[in-house]
């Protein structure tokens, strides 16, 4: 319990400092600029709080994905060099830790966004955006972009954040399952690794496509 309280306290201090000094964070990869869809009573401070959480959540989730790819690399190379379970335990533990942190941040992002009003000007732009033309021009993954379109065209940025939280929870669960097997000295099921890689990729594309749409709105 104390660990959770310390984590939340650290997050609140970080957001306070961000608002105090009016830093402008720019999340480049995942959910970039989606915070511009909010317009709280304290103006830029509300967007800064949401922007801070987006950056931190993306940072943790991307690091978790990086550690997972490192883990898969060691599994792949085990056909040549054998399996070092001690090394695998360290790598998968790092992936689990970062994904759990991402999950906590996305939970706080959802709560913060749920209590912050939307920016009506941005919501109007999202409703009139040419999603079909944008997808065709850039060759985006159809099913994933359709999800992004469904959220953004309907002005449901909160729904997008809820989906990001659900993805983080699913990924965390899968990573914990693999960690349990590795800690027991068991080789993880290849099917589980395939699905894990797929879910990481889909989650990243979801956030990236949302970023691309908002980037176009800012032009």
Task: Tell me what pLDDT residue 27 has.
Answer: 45
CA atoms within 13 A on the CB side of 8: 9
For the chain, the structural domain boundaries read 2-26+40-217
Return the pLDDT at 152. Answer: 97
pTM confidence score: 0.81
Check if the beta carbon of residue 52 is closer than 8 Å to that of residue 15. yes
CA atoms lying within 13 Å on the CB side of residue 110: 16
Three-state DSSP at 145 gives helix
Spatial separation of the C-alpha atoms in residues 64 and 175, rounded to whole Å: 10
Given a cut of 70, whether residue 55 has pLDDT beyond it is yes
Q: What is the mean pLDDT of residues 101-118?
A: 94
Of 6-20, 26-40, 57-71, 183-197, minimum mean pLDDT range: 6-20
Q: Note the pLDDT tens digit of each residue in 188-206.
A: 999 999 999 999 999 999 9
């Amino acid at each position: 319990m104390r660990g959770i309280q310390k984590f939340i306290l650290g997050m609140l201090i970080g957001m306070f400092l961000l608002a105090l000094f009016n830093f402008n964070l720019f999340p480049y990869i995942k959910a970039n600029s989606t915070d511009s869809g909010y317009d709280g009573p304290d103006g830029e401070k509300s967007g800064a709080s949401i922007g801070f959480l987006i950056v931190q959540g993306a940072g943790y989730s991307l690091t978790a994905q990086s550690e997972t790819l490192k883990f898969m690399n060691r599994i792949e190379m085990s056909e040549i060099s054998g399996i070092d379970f001690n090394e695998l335990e360290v790598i998968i533990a790092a992936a689990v830790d970062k994904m759990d942190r991402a999950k906590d941040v996305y939970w706080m992002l959802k709560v913060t966004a749920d209590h912050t009003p939307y920016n009506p000007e941005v919501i109007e732009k999202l409703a009139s955006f040419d999603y079909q033309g944008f997808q065709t021009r850039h060759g985006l993954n159809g099913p994933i972009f359709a999800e992004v379109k469904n959220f953004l065209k309907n002005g449901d940025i909160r729904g997008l954040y809820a989906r990001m939280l659900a993805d983080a929870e699913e990924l965390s669960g899968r990573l914990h399952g693999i960690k349990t097997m590795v800690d027991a000295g068991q080789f993880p099921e290849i099917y589980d690794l395939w699905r894990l890689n797929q879910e990481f990729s889909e989650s990243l594309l979801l956030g990236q496509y949302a970023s691309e749409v908002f980037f176009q709105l800012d032009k």
